[in-house]
Copies of this chain bind each other. A is one copy, B any other.
Amino acid sequence: MDLRAVARAATTIENRGPEARALLQSLYPQTGRAVVVGLTGAPGAGKSTLASALITEWRARNKRVAVLAVDPTSPFTGGAILGDRIRMMQHHADPGVFIRSMATRGRLGGLAAATADMTSLCDAAGFDVVLVETVGVGQDEIDVARLAGVTVVVLVPGMGDSIQAIKAGILEIASVYVINKSDRDGAAQLEQELHAEAPHIPIVRTVAHEGRGVPELLAAIEAHPPSESRRVQLWHWRLRDMLLDRLSSRISEEQLRSAAEAVALHRADPYEIVDRWTEA
């Protein structure tokens, strides 16, 4: 598949219609070869710079790379949290690199389901690596980590990241830790803290904007392919997201809003409404 065909298919998938489902089912037998790498961490950790350096490294080894840049949109303001995506632009002209931004659709399970489908598309299209980069913290990151075979968690010395990340459950999803900007004070302390927290998880120090540590990170990613039990777990989560995505698409936001109005004014019984929706 050339990049244009991939881009067209990606649009079909984002539109979430019956065509998406048919396309994905036809692609499914071709999936299973790509390595899906999640790249996650707090804003300011240097994820985009690191992503760009990783792409350069993979390209030097003649690997085709797809990048899915996930922008979780706040459900409250509707505004996207902006990431610094500019550094990835240098790869835009490279036919071996496919870059796609994805935003949330305000539907439960929607972003996770659409992103997972997109990794399947890129996998079937012959990309060797699918890099899924998230912006922000919290559940969205965890959801996205749930679709990656290997999850790289990026931390920075002196940002208070380690404790915050532990709180948010981010460390629990890591396959590899990266201490980026590791020429800063506090790198050794952060490494100690991470090691104490999870001694079995490899830690790689990088200075992404100079490319330092990036070959080592690649080696760490390749040394930890997803186990069979990990792949089963990934499908467990993914099937649930697929199920919820499919089911919630049956009720429109307009239906929800008008029902909510009736219930808030005590003109309708919410239990009867949900019964009606689920019987249909």
Shortest A6–chain B CB gap in Å is 20
Q: Determine chain A's interface SS by DSSP, over half rule.
A: helix
Using A28-B269, A108-B108, A138-B169 as known contacts, say yes or no to A278 and B235 having CB atoms under 8 A apart: no
Question: A246-257 toward B: CB 8 Å interface, digit per residue (1/0)?
Answer: 111001000011
Q: Which A residues, 155 to 178, have Cβ-Cβ distances below 8 Å to chain B?
A: 160, 164, 167-169, 172-173
Distance in angstroms between the alpha carbons of A260 and B236 in the assembled complex: 5
Closest to A109 in B: B108
A264 touches B243 (CB 8 A): no
- Inter-chain contacts of A76 with B (CB < 8 A): 169, 172-173
Shortest A84–chain B CB gap in Å is 15
Q: List 27 A-B contacts (CB under 8 A).
A: A21-B271, A24-B271, A25-B272, A32-B266, A108-B244, A138-B138, A138-B139, A138-B142, A138-B168, A139-B139, A164-B164, A228-B264, A231-B264, A232-B257, A232-B261, A233-B260, A235-B259, A235-B260, A239-B256, A239-B273, A240-B248, A242-B270, A243-B247, A243-B248, A243-B251, A247-B247, A247-B278
